[in-house]
Structure 1
Amino acid sequence: MQTNPTPPPHSSLVAVGDSFTEGMSDLLPDGSYRGWADLLAARMAARTPGFRYANLAVRGKLIGQIVDEQVDVAAAMNADVVTLVGGLNDTLRPKCDMGRVKGLLTEAVERLAPSCGQLVLMRSPGRQGPVLERFRPRMEELFACVEELAARHGAIVVDLYGAPSLGDPRLWDVDRLHLTAEGHRRVAEAVWQTLGYEPEDTEWRVPLPATPPPGWVTRRVADARFARQHLLPWIGRRLTGRSSGDGRPAKRPELLPYEAQA
């Protein structure tokens, strides 16, 4: 029986993107975020002495900002693996020029692909729910572009959107925009396997066990809390042209030796 060859040990990883790659909402006790990229880096570091990791992601960034602020920095690092996830924040804006978004994503891929050993792109997970339906056509147009760019430039695509398990609302934080710790763990496993490593957990696509749906009152209380704590501030930032990432530095701006945190 033919087996897949073991991938060569990767000695460096650079992650490029927005809040999804920064790690929101996988919150650590010290108030910082971990996330799938840190989990992936920890696995790689455990296999390869001297492993180096940089995470340039900043929450709230649009694809134009990712191109302007992160792409050239990442390309100059010449890492073994570069992950690029961007453009989804653009699709959630009331006004979105998808032609411009796809053009900028193409520019990012064209700069990054020749500079690294393996470029990793993603079809991001989509939470189930009525709000997302309004933006779903844009998201799917973006993901079709991701597939085309991967085929053209030798990148690999991690298909999180095609995994119904990651659409489960229980894997999303109360802000309904970011994954929980369990969601990020599943994403790390998906990227790990797509890179060709032996699975550490084969269950990332398996849905959570069924539970009774919350009652009407519980749902309404959750909706009110979501609107007050997350939706209204998000609308306010859109109306004033602000972003949650304004003034924030990259999570891990330099390609330095990395060890998993206890």
Structure 2
Amino acid sequence: MNFASILAMVPHSAEFWLTFATWYLAMPLSEWIIYRKLWQLPFSGVGALIRKLVSNELLLGYLGEAQFYAWARSKLDMPTAPFGAIKDVTILSALTGNIATTVMLVAAWPLVSSGGIGLQMHSVFMSLGVVLVTSFAMLLFRQRLFTLPKSELWFISLVHMFRIAALVLLSALMWHWVLPDVAIALWLVLATLRMLVSRLPLVPNKDVVFAGLAVYLLGQETRIAEMLTMMAGLVLLAHAAVGAIFALTGLVGEARR
């Protein structure tokens, strides 16, 4: 696997790039829908949510939540502090993600347990155990963790579930645009592996971690390894470009004051 072969895999089709843009914006747009209901957040708040995504992915997990909290306190006219709502949205995001990961593991288990793709059963069991323990702990102490009313908690959970389903489908579709002849079952396993990696707390650059792990587990599948490395590079470049745009915008805004 070399840089030239990876670069040659970058698609030129409009379908791929439209899917990639939709996938990239799925998280901030879904969160905007949530905060629009909770706070009447204007559409300009999407920018703050994109900055939150970039901070979490490039710097440190949950640092973006702290930045978004500071932005909400300074920009929005709210009678109470937004900490409770942000906390509930973050906890429910983790909880729904863990539940979805468990469901996907169960669905992908027949292929995983066959050993045909190189996944080690011990690692899978350990990952599944972490997901289940975290989920059940959140459910057990939900009365002490959440502050929003039940109706709003259900709405937030549904939006998170739709967002997770959309991300999985969009990821598989992006991979299909690059390698259309790969079996759908393998995309299911890779999507499950990506969900597992996304559950790791305080780990930046999760797409790079996922690509490295997938390359290690599926090293014999050269095309898939190159494709996942290419995708990780595109995501990293997208985060860096968006972060640079927001940084320059901030500097211009400060210079005009």
**Shorter-chain TM-score category?**
0.3 to 0.5
When you count helix as a share of all residues, which structure comes out higher? 2
Where is the strand percentage greater, Structure 1 or Structure 2?
A: 1
TM-score by length of 2: 0.36
**TM-score computed with the length of structure 1 as normaliser:** 0.36
